[in-house]
Amino acid sequence: MKISLSVPHFFGNELHNLKQCIKKRWISSSGSIGTAFEKRIKNYIGSKYALGVINCTSALQLSVRLLNPKPKDEIIVPSITFVASVNAIVYNNCKPIFLDCDENLLLDTEKTLEFLNTKTFQHKGACYNKTTKKRILGVIAVHTFGNLVKLSKKFLDTCKKKNIKIIEDAAESFGSYYNSEKKKKHAATLGDLNCLSFNANKIITSGGGGMIIFKDKNLYKKGIYLASQAKDNSTYFIHNTVGYNFRLSSLHSSVGSAQISQISKIIKKKKMIHDLYKKEINKINGLTILEQPHYCVSNFWLNILIIDRNKYGLSKDQIIKNFLGKKIETRSVWYPNHLQRPFKNFQKYKIKNSKKLYENSLCLPSSFNLRIKDQIKVINFLKKKFR
């Protein structure tokens, strides 16, 4: 049997909830089942407004749209992220500006501040790029693998002062939080618009699904309007702008509601998986497990193996291939987006770490239902170098 990277686990209530949907004939996007899921998510993370959408990609696309972009406006995004964060910018006829990652594979906010402070200017309340003379609308802070971008007070204040909106891409980090202040602050509660994913491989799943978390009530209302085909009159089908059919169905929401009730259990198990990897793998010369940064508590969604090839003797590609031969699924960290064909002509700023991080890191099996004996198998293959 194959050891998978990150597969969903069902606890039992999912089927019950799905049956209820079908029984009540509430299967589409309107009705109380979707609202109940939104409520559970917003209560858990401590926010006021949540809108369920079909996936996180559409959540990101709609979030950029809600910033009222003009063609060729620019948005800052890290080079290392899943392609959806970048596509969301391009779908809106805007341009990405690629920034580097720090040692935790997260947007380097120090370098972003340096860019904002030296390479931009303010004009009529907006921030402009000195190089392209285009308006910079926002920054997408992608919380990768469960860890959170260092959204320091300095960073948040600078963005506010420069009128740069923050979109959190928290697709992978539902349940993670900042611990540096007295009150814990969850991922997806700091930005102006914040996006979650409930794809099958995520910490909780609704089959497919996403959510936008809003701070602002008017923006939330506009989000509902745009995600529901922008109907200005639903009897006569009047549309004064172009909308989307993005709302999450009740069927999906019902599965999501069953899953969120298990979140503490899931995160507890994920931490156990992380702790075992960390304890055993950090003993191996040339290998380390990426740890949570000191300022946050991770949901430990996926475990990242960092390889020092000279010390360990095998490269990332060799390790992936060897694991594949043992029917163990691992995965490379994403190829840097500033080097991808559709994006390589966009601006990049002092990118030094991303390529190296890509070359030296891979994702290890981290499913909720990963058995200890399978995890030990993974660890032993690494210890023995697959011999």
Ligand X SMILES: Cc1ncc(COP(=O)(O)O)c(C=O)c1O
Interface residues toward ligand X, by CB under 6 A: 55-57, 81-82, 84-85, 142, 169, 171-172, 197, 199, 210
Minimum CB distance to ligand X, residue 202 (Å): 7
How far apart are alpha carbons 62 and 248 in whole angstroms? 13
Give which of 119, 54, 109, 122 is closest to 77, Cα–Cα. Answer: 109
Cβ contact 335:362 at 8 Å: no
97 vs 142 by CB, closer to ligand X = 142
Minimum CB distance to ligand X, residue 141 (Å): 11
14 vs 280 by CB, closer to ligand X = 14
What is the torsion angle, in degrees rounded to the nearest 10, for the CA atoms of residue 327, residue 267, residue 171 and residue 194? 180
Q: Tokens for 107, please give them.
A: 């947007």
Q: Tokens for 17, please give them.
A: 């909830």
Minimum CB distance to ligand X, residue 121 (Å): 31
332 - beta bridge partners?
362
Minimum CB distance to ligand X, residue 266 (Å): 17
How far apart are alpha carbons 226 and 230 in whole angstroms? 5
84 vs 190 by CB, closer to ligand X = 84
Give which of 329, 56, 334 is closest to 169, Cα–Cα. Answer: 56
Minimum CB distance to ligand X, residue 347 (Å): 21
- Extract long-range pairs of 155-159: CB within 8 Å, 24+ residues apart: 155/109, 155/112, 155/113, 156/190, 158/113, 158/116, 158/117, 159/116
Minimum CB distance to ligand X, residue 253 (Å): 14
84 vs 116 by CB, closer to ligand X = 84
197 vs 347 by CB, closer to ligand X = 197
255 vs 379 by CB, closer to ligand X = 255
